[in-house]
């Protein structure tokens, strides 16, 4: 008998944005919960957020990541929803008071995707080609590696962005691979962009489950949704970003991976002790990519938060605060 057998929630309501990708995420969690609790009525409350409504300005200039979750949190506050499902890259690094992330869903491909109808990769784009992205993180890295390309803002849901590409407004656009794969649009991906060329956003490809902090009755119910390896990687990435005051207004990224390790301890008669190691690479840059600092560290997965902070500390030692202070000056 599984551990969820003794739990018997009668009804659960999931708050979600109404975009196709957000609804895929909500339905994915709905299906997981229905499988865990067959007698539970699991509903989805679709909502339009401020971030979905303001599409004519870069996200960094209108308030950042919190615009995608505020209305969902209001639904948690007034009791019309029990949990909210987010793309982890949209979740602010510091959760608002009274809310908590209770589970991190398994990660899809975390990399950026290069999408074009005419070219295979960034390397193939001719001088002056227009590349669409709304992300300062992507912009800074592309400008650093490919200064001959022109970056223009691209907002809207996945389908809107693809339509703008198809209309010829851009030679190529950069999207999160996870979103395209989840929407069964993987055939639109011309190539995956390696972390060498574009370190992904913090939390990219992972799902976050948010509840009101005082809803302790939900913790055990939602615990099976947590994917420990993903949680540890995202914890390290978010700690790195938090330590550098990361938001949509700061071009930074972090990519953590996890691997099994084993070591022998002579004190325990050579018994093999298995553990997990996190490898994390992070960067911070000026918007135009002319200044960029990048570092990699490894450490035990159980120390994920400390590892992320330590990586941020290494970048600060190399001068990250100078880049960040300059960014503050132009906001």
Task: Name the nearest CA neighbour of 195 among 119, 276, 283.
Answer: 283
In this structure, the number of other CB atoms found within 10 A of the CB of residue 242 comes to 18
Judge whether 98 and 214 are in contact, CB under 8 Å: yes
Neighbouring residues of 57: CB distance < 8 A, sequence distance ≥ 6: 153, 155
Instruction: Give the whole-angstrom CA distance, residue 184 versus residue 115.
Output: 14
Residues marked as catalytic: 90
In this structure, the number of other CB atoms found within 10 A of the CB of residue 109 comes to 19
Neighbouring residues of 275: CB distance < 8 A, sequence distance ≥ 6: 260, 261, 262, 263, 300, 301, 302
Judge whether 171 and 164 are in contact, CB under 8 Å: no
């Amino acid at each position: 008998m599984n551990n969820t057998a003794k739990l018997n929630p009668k009804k659960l309501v999931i708050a979600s944005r109404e975009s196709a990708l957000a609804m895929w995420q909500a339905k994915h969690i709905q299906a997981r919960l229905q499988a865990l609790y067959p007698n539970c009525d699991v509903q989805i409350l679709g909502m339009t957020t401020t971030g979905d409504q303001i599409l004519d300005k870069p996200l960094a200039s209108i308030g950042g990541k919190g615009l995608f979750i505020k209305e969902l949190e209001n639904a948690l506050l007034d009791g019309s929803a029990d949990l909210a499902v987010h793309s982890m890259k949209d979740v602010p690094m510091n959760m608002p008071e009274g809310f908590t992330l209770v589970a991190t869903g398994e990660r899809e491909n975390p990399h950026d995707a290069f999408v074009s109808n005419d070219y295979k990769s960034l390397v193939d784009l001719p001088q002056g080609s227009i590349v669409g992205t709304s992300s300062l993180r992507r912009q800074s890295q592309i400008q650093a590696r490919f200064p001959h390309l022109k970056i223009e803002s691209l907002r809207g849901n996945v389908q809107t962005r693809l339509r703008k590409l198809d209309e010829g407004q851009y030679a190529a656009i950069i999207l999160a691979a996870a979103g395209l794969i989840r929407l069964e649009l993987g055939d639109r991906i011309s190539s995956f962009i390696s972390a060498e060329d574009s370190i992904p956003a913090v939390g990219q490809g992972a799902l976050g489950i948010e509840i009101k902090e005082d809803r302790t009755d939900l913790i055990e119910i939602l615990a099976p949704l947590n994917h420990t390896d993903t949680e540890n990687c995202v914890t390290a990435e978010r700690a790195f970003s938090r330590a550098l005051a990361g938001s949509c207004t700061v071009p930074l990224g972090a990519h953590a991976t996890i691997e099994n390790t084993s070591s022998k301890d002579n004190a325990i008669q050579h018994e093999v002790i298995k553990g997990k190691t996190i490898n994390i690479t992070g960067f911070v840059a000026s918007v135009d990519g002319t200044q960029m600092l990048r570092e990699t560290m490894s450490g035990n997965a159980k120390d994920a938060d400390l590892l992320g902070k330590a990586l941020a500390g290494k970048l600060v030692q190399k001068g990250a605060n100078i880049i960040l202070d300059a960014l503050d000056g132009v906001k």
